[in-house]
Amino acid sequence: MKIKRYMGKDMQEVMLKVKFDLGSNAIILNTRKIKQKGFLKFFNRPLVEVLAAVDETATIPRQDVSSPKKELLSRVEETETVSEISQQYDKKDNMFDLEMKINQIGELLQKIYSDIKPQNKTGQRSESYNILDIFENNLIANNVDRSVAAEIIGRVRNSVSNDANINEVATKIYNEISELLGEARTIEMQTEKDSAKVVIFVGPTGVGKTTTLAKLAAIFSINYKKNLGIITSDTYRIAAVEQLKTYTEILGIPIKVIYSPEEIQEAISSFQDKDLILIDTAGRSHKDEKQFEELKQIIELGNPDEVFLLISSTTDYNVCKEIVQSYSFIKDYKIIITKMDEGTSPGMILNIKNLTKNSLSYITVGQSVPDDIEVIDISSIAKNVMGSIRT
């Protein structure tokens, strides 16, 4: 049995590859469209991926047929589905050939099923094994890192019986993912106020720190009636300072701009009568050591009660690894996932959680202040990561 994946710009190109590689007896098992990654490829048409299979031991009996009939058989080999085959055949004259082709498809699918379905110790087929494989493929399709997906499925495989049904297996997987994601932890206000709570927001350039801070400022000011002060050290972008000033004027919240790490303590002291101090920082490239030294000073001198690291849901997983490594100097932080309205898959959230072991908190789903931010729904993320299967 030979099973392979093929990719191309359209179905015609992929089918040519399949026929060239596997021959005319190949069966199409699955097709899907895949978005191309990378900024320059963002606007390109999605690629077509085809999963094809062929039984290397199978032979197709051929009869000595006339030229018109040979042409019809050739057309059959180029079709992708049984419905397309039936439409191209003259039912009176060619029913035998059509029946032969359908039987071949059935035999091949049965062989594939038999090959991938393992046996348990008693020689009986394990239904739960196949279900687990399908869910593992779902996790990977939703951009969960392969090692993370394998670890989750491996734990479930060791905890369910061979005859476990789909509901039992799905519940186990859901529980494993939910446990890995953990509980959402947001900004925690002191029950008894002795001093202002200091919260710093950090993250790469363009991740949405300033807008996210403004959303949270509006929520705590309007919904929770907290007395706020805002500090920004993001003097690299004049637009960021002006943006924050616009928000603070609307909300009636005082703001201070600092131009060096040494000014952070004085700015915090001036807001000690507040309930909450939110500090915006400049976006730092995870490859710029000099910028990170300045950020380290701000965090050290500011001595915040909480730090929130913002990561965009559109960030490539390998880049996420580099970002997380760059911020490893922070002892403890919570994670805000931004631009969820632009992200392609929830699997990235599970990857980040597994990578950092730190608590998830909020997600942002747009630019509107203060509406487009919410506490992350662990249950919803777990279900979306799992996907579903048809039985």
Residue where one domain finishes, among candidates 116, 145, 167: 116
d(CA 298, CA 241): 17
Instruction: Quote the domain boundaries for residue 161.
Output: 122-184+384-391
Q: Which strands sit side by side in the sheet containing 197-202, from one edge to the other?
A: 255-257, 228-232, 276-280, 197-202, 306-312, 334-338, 360-364, 373-375
- Are 77 and 136 in a shared domain? no
Q: Are 347 and 385 in contact (CB under 8 A)?
A: yes
- 271/371 same-domain check: yes
Identify whether residues 152 and 265 lie together within a single domain. Answer: no
- Residue 281 inside a domain? The answer is yes
Give the position of tokens 């399949």: 18
Q: Within a domain: residue 148?
A: yes
- Residue 192 inside a domain? The answer is no
Contact 283, 250 (CB under 8 A): no
Structure-token match 């379905």, residue found: 117
* 190 inside domain: no
Number of domains forming the structure of the chain: 3
Domain end call among 116, 147, 174: 116
Q: Quick one: 110 and 160 in the same domain?
A: no
Q: How far apart are CA 135 and CA 353, in angstroms?
A: 20
In a domain, 189, yes or no: no
Q: How far apart are CA 338 and CA 300, in angstroms?
A: 25
With 80 as the cut, is the pLDDT of residue 99 above it?
A: no
The pLDDT tens digits for 195-230 are 899 999 999 988 889 899 999 999 999 999 999 999
pTM tops 0.85, yes or no:
no
**Cα separation of 372 and 339, whole Å?**
10
- State residue 282's pLDDT score: 83
Is 104 part of any domain?
Answer: yes
The model's pLDDT over 111-124, given as tens digits with 9 standing for 90+, comes to 555 555 454 444 44
* DSSP H or E segment with residue 6: strand 2-8
* Angstrom distance (rounded) from CA 109 to CA 5: 16
Q: Is residue 219 in some structural domain?
A: yes
